[in-house]
Amino acid sequence: MSRTLRTTLITLGVLLLLYGVFYFLGRPAIPLPTIRYPVPQGQTLHNLVTATEADEIKLDLNTKGSLNLTSAGEELVKLNFTPQTLATTLDLALKLAPGETLQAYQQFVDRFPVYPWLLRYTSELFFHVLPIRFSVVMTP
Partner 1 sequence: MKKNTNLLKLIIAIVLVLGISVMQHTPSAVAEIPMQQDGPANRIYIDVTYDPVTQTYSLGGFSSAELEQYGAPGFTPELWQVLASLDSITLKLENEQFNLVTDEEQLASIAWDASSRQILYGMLDAYIELGRVDLDRAEAWLDKADIEFSLRNSKELSDPLLIQLATLLQVNIDDDNGAVNVEGIPTGFGLTPEIQEMIRAANLNNIKLCWNKGVIDSEINGSTLPQLTLYEGGINVVDRAFGLSLGDLGPIFDSTFGAGIVFGEGDPVTGECLP
Residues of the shown chain interacting with partner 1 in the complex, contacts defined by CB under 8 A: 1, 6, 9-10, 12-13, 16-17, 19-20, 23-24, 27, 47-48, 50-52, 64-66, 69, 71, 74-82, 84-86, 88-89, 92, 95-96, 127-128
Which residue, 33 or 99, has its beta carbon nearer to partner 1?
Answer: 99
Nearest to 54 by CA among 33, 75, 23, 29: 75
- Residue 101's contacts (CB-CB under 8 Å, 6 or more residues apart) are 94
Helical H runs in the chain? 3-24, 44-51, 83-96, 101-111, 115-124
Q: Minimum CB separation from partner 1 for residue 78, in Å?
A: 4
CB 108, CB 101: distance < 8 Å: no
Which residue, 26 or 113, has its beta carbon nearer to partner 1?
Answer: 26
Q: Minimum CB separation from partner 1 for residue 8, in Å?
A: 11
3-state secondary structure of 29: coil
Which residue, 65 or 119, has its beta carbon nearer to partner 1?
Answer: 65
Which residue, 97 or 112, has its beta carbon nearer to partner 1?
Answer: 97
CB 69, CB 110: distance < 8 Å: no
Q: Minimum CB separation from partner 1 for residue 33, in Å?
A: 24
Q: Minimum CB separation from partner 1 for residue 118, in Å?
A: 21
> Cα–Cα distance between 50 and 39 in angstroms, integer?
10
